[in-house]
Amino acid sequence: MTQAYPSHKAGGAMARALTGTLRAAEGLTHAVAALAAVLVVIGFVAVLVAVFYRYVLGTPLNGVDELTGYLVVGQLCCGLGCALLMQRHIGVDILTTSAGPGSRRALAIWSDFSVLVCAGLFTWSAWHTVIFNRDFGTYSTGPLEIQIWIAQAPMVLGGVVLGIAAIIRILRGLTGEQP
């Protein structure tokens, strides 16, 4: 039976601190994934209302397509970290299936480190994009005409949470846990 976290007896205070930090980070990751689920429901309701207005009342609503597009971006970004923790991202396993246990572990750590680097670059780029569009005062060109940085902000959150999930997986790999 594999332990989810390091034993408190083995590492003392350091292990307890690591355990608490990992649990809090996982909780944050799952909370942001729950936000993605809420965005799915909001998008579904918006489409239902738009269909009702178009086909029952005969008056289409403006902006629902734009809104659902922004919601999809939010859903995707908010679900990134949780998907990584649940091993739901696409992976190439041609090397890992033929590798021994030690090599498989090293490849997993390398993979998670690569995700961490990509998450950092994505977050940095998204942050600068959001700040630029906020400072410049860019609005969407669609019927909603919202400040575009508001629609882009979930990219920053998603990148941060993806990075946190990668760190969790790296720590698990270094402590010998099965992800």
Whether the predicted pLDDT of 7 surpasses 70: no
d(CA 102, CA 85): 21
| pLDDT value, residue 89 | 73
d(CA 63, CA 121): 32
CA 32 remoteness from chain centre: 7
Taking only the tens place, the pLDDT of each residue in 49-96 is 999 999 999 999 999 999 999 999 999 999 999 999 988 877 777 777
Structure tokens at 103: 């090599």
* Three-state DSSP state, 147: strand
Q: Residue 7 has what DSSP assignment?
A: -
More confident residue, 116 or 15: 116
Is there a domain that residue 120 lies in?
yes
Is there a domain that residue 167 lies in?
yes
pTM of the entire predicted model: 0.83
Is there a domain that residue 5 lies in?
no
Q: Determine the structural domain holding residue 36 and report its residue range.
A: 11-174
Whether the predicted pLDDT of 9 surpasses 80: no
Q: Residue 138 has what DSSP assignment?
A: -
Is there a domain that residue 131 lies in?
yes
* Closest to 125 in 3D by CA, of 169, 155, 89: 155
Q: Is residue 178 very low, low, confident or very high in pLDDT (cuts 50, 70, 90)?
A: low
